[in-house]
């Protein structure tokens, strides 16, 4: 059996934090493991909202046991409050990855769009459509935060996941490639 790299993609947000878990094989074929959105009530104090997001991410990490975590990189927007909430949720995601001993990476929205659609300025509907096609889903993943999380996970696996044949010693691999190689070794031992 061919092992797969399991990637947790996170579209950070304070109100809606998209999460998507995919398994991606070395041939780039992907399958859906989990998709959802962690929501925090806007009436709660910021610390409690971050705790809600952390609890939701911990549950996903415990249940699905990803090999790597990929988070959308925070980018400048007009709305400072939105940027701050996104940055805070992103920080929680990166912290939890580190606490679980998982390699983590960030990807810009344009990197994700380019990886999924071939065009770095693609519209959300184009990204959702390609994610649905790649994962062989009957419907577009909803809401957009969940679709974005799946796109982030796929982007990471495709850009950095599978080690190339003849890759040098472990030190020459990216963290995601090392995780992939470790998963391959574990599957071979079974």
The span from the CA of 78 to the CA of 88, in Å, is: 17
Q: Which active-site residues does the annotation give?
A: 11, 72, 145
Residue 8 exposed, middle or buried by CB count within 10 Å (0-12, 13-18, 19+): buried
- Centroid of chain to Cα 160: 12
Do residues 6 and 25 lie in contact, with contact meaning Cβ atoms separated by under 8 Å? no
161 DSSP assignment: I
Q: Which residues pair with 31 in a beta bridge?
A: 23
Structure tokens at 187: 């599957």
- DSSP helix/strand/coil, 38: strand
- Centroid of chain to Cα 91: 14
Q: Which residues pair with 11 in a beta bridge?
A: 18
157 DSSP assignment: I
């Amino acid at each position: 059996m061919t092992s797969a790299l399991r990637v947790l993609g996170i579209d950070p947000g304070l109100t809606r934090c998209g999460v998507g878990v995919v398994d991606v094989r070395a041939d780039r074929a992907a399958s859906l493991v989990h998709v959802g959105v962690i929501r925090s009530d806007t009436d709660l104090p910021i610390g409690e909202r971050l705790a809600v997001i952390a609890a939701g991410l911990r549950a996903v990490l415990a249940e699905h046991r990803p090999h790597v975590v990929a988070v959308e990189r925070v980018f400048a927007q007009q709305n400072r409050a939105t940027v701050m909430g996104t940055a805070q949720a992103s920080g929680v995601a990166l912290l939890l990855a580190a606490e679980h001993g998982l390699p983590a990476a960030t990807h810009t929205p344009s990197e994700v769009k380019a990886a999924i659609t071939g065009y770095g300025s693609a519209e959300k509907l184009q990204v959702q459509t390609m994610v649905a096609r790649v994962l062989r889903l009957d419907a577009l993943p909803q809401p957009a935060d969940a679709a974005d999380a799946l796109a982030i996970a796929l982007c990471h696996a495709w850009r950095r996941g599978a080690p190339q044949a003849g890759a040098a010693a472990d030190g020459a691999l990216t963290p995601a490639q090392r995780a992939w190689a470790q998963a391959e070794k574990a599957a071979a031992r079974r």
